[in-house]
Structure 1
Amino acid sequence: MALAIATNTGALMAAASATSVNKDMETSMERLSTGKRINSAKDDAAGVAIASRLSSEIRGTNQAIRNAQDGQALINTAEGAHKEIENILQRMRELAVQSSNDTNDGTDRTNLQAEMDQLVEEIDRISSVTTWAGQSLLNGAAAGAGTAQFNFQIGGNTGDGDRILVEIDAMSSKALAVSGAGTPPAFTNDTFSGDASGSVTIDDDAGTITFASTEASGAFASGATFTADINGTTVKITVVDNDSFTDDEAGVAAQFAAEIAKKDELRDISVSAAAGVLTLKIGGGLDIGSTSTTSSRDTAINAIDAAIEKLNTQRANLGAVANRLDNTVSNLTNVAINLEGGKGRIEDADFAAESTSLAKSQILQQASTAMLAQANASKQNVLSLLQG
């Protein structure tokens, strides 16, 4: 081989080796310092994509676990209120049974009715104030009626299996059909015009509206109007005679009752009709007071039994969902652990392997540096030829 200094092949090879070894050493040091085998896409292009998908699943699953636990807390809150309402219903049934005994006189039954009415109000209070994070649980889809629906997201995706639908029926006294003896609404601004042969009379204390005609047929003139404000809501009819309503006393009363039923603001008012007389009550159904009869007291007991059965069915359904969520949380926890393990095998650094690689790189770096120095020193022999 020719003795030359323009091209120091040995030095170039030693420098290239040092560069390569230095790169390997930096990679090992990065992995050891971060604990990750994949620190950028160039480390493992496919692994980056897989690890990203697994991260989405893991984070979604962990959030689903928290969702399920929050769902359990919501159900437990509702179920606790159900339990207290059941205690109230049991006491109400006890009062109804007590009132059915004729050892009680009118005063005794009045006192029993007073407690019954207070218990009914407490059911409504519990139903209206039982909430979870501001959401009403026992008030239903509408005020005091209907069913509230809650979707619990118990998976990280969008399929049907990732959600549980929980329905909680309203537990107000109206929804349970135990609204007490009832009280009349407030009547104001009542006017009747267009029919001199008829009249409309309102009894505020009894809560009745009586439609009366002086005609032998009992008819009102078509086109006559009647308007009244009931609890601040205006209800108005124009007397008609068609397929739906007649223009006699009973038909006009039925027309007015139908108009009341259209008003959402009056949904808590019950209306009963008899021979042209409407009786309006807020609440109604549990009459065990001084004017009650054996039949009305029996009706009260039966109504409370039905309410307790409805309540227990609801509690059983909620308990079943709560138990289901226990299994859901356990399964999701196992899934999250296994997903974490799979992700770790893809992107976590093997400290034993990387430590070995680092030690190897450090030794090779020292060796290549030494050889580079030797290669540079070897060209000094040319000087001896030049010195002569």
Structure 2
Amino acid sequence: MALTLRTLDHDELGPFQRMVDNAFLSDAREEFLERWRGLFEPERHHAVFDGDELIGGGGIQTRDLTLPGSGPQPVAAVTSVAVKPGHRRRGVLTRVMTAQLHGMHEGPQEAFAALWASEAGIYGRFGYGMASEFTRLSVPRGAAFRPGVSTGDVRVREVLADEAMLFMKEVYDRIRPGRTGWLSRSDANWLHQFADEERDRDGLTAYRYVLHPQGYAVYRVKHDWPERGPRNELHVRELVAETDEAFAALYRYLLDVDQVGELKFFTASDDPLVHLLADPRLALRMRSDSLWVRIVDVDRALPLRRYLSDVDTVLDVDDSFCPWNGGRWRLTVKGGEASVRRSDEAPDVAVDIQALGAAFLGGTRLSTLARGQLVRELTPGALNPLSHAFSGDREPHCPEVF
């Protein structure tokens, strides 16, 4: 039977979510549906049907994402991309990706999309580039700071969720415009990110909330109490601080919690904790991919962010999946602001669309991507200035999976 694709109706959240649960080998839980309903935009969810059976699909959350220098900009936050077991390798995912990207181009809607990849080998063929990473950080309890680190003299205290949440939202929204990779959060997003029923905890405790006048931290505990005494793991969910001193004070509090053996945190790849410690080797770090970015329209996306230095370069873009991006574009940056227009001049740099997505948040150098054979310098000396212009002041980081 021929496959069909369409957007969903409000009353189709249940079948869609059951398909997603099935694809990710999870038990379907009807009680989760109301939580998902606040995030569900049916007109932005595409589903593929084999007859009457929903066999795959993917959705978009309409959100903002902070870009280098320019602050929050509209992003298509791609989510819930799945294909039901038994229906793979039938072109289902390709149909969903085509519908999403072509729809944004024809809208026009957002100029770029972003996602977390369940498997890192999937999305490169659709033009997504690995634009940011996170660090799995592990530090023993009580790890000392080096002399001279200031944590201030204000009190850090634990409070209940109701007291913490309003303060957390205010702090997050104040900081977000300057943190590349951070997403806007609606009330439904906050509810989803900090859901704390028993089934959300994966064997850990309920969330505990730590407040500082200029920041907050949220953590759970994984119990481990062997014969020689407690070696519990403290799992940080989020740590947000407006000042460097507040950042150090919150970390100091977490590192000194009694009955803990190890602090663990999926944090930013440039988290400065290692530079606060007297012994940097105590911080074990392992990096992995986080946000993957797809440039939907080169001429609309590249001017959205600011650039570190001026440059005037003709790019030869290769994009077989979204052919409207292919060809030569002149990128001109003056005072950090970019303009992009079609060009018939000789190209200076040849670039795969995947590389533009990877470099878009400023955390992946085009010069590095050239060594990975996604970028080629055609005019001697053109690549390094372009690579520098795309760099950001800090590493991009997305503190939530969506």
- With normalisation by structure 2, the TM-score equals 0.19
Higher strand share: 2
Between the two structures, name the one with larger relative contact order (CA 8 Å, sep ≥ 6).
1
Task: Give the greater-gyration-radius structure (CA).
Answer: 1
Tell me the TM-score normalised to structure 1 length: 0.19
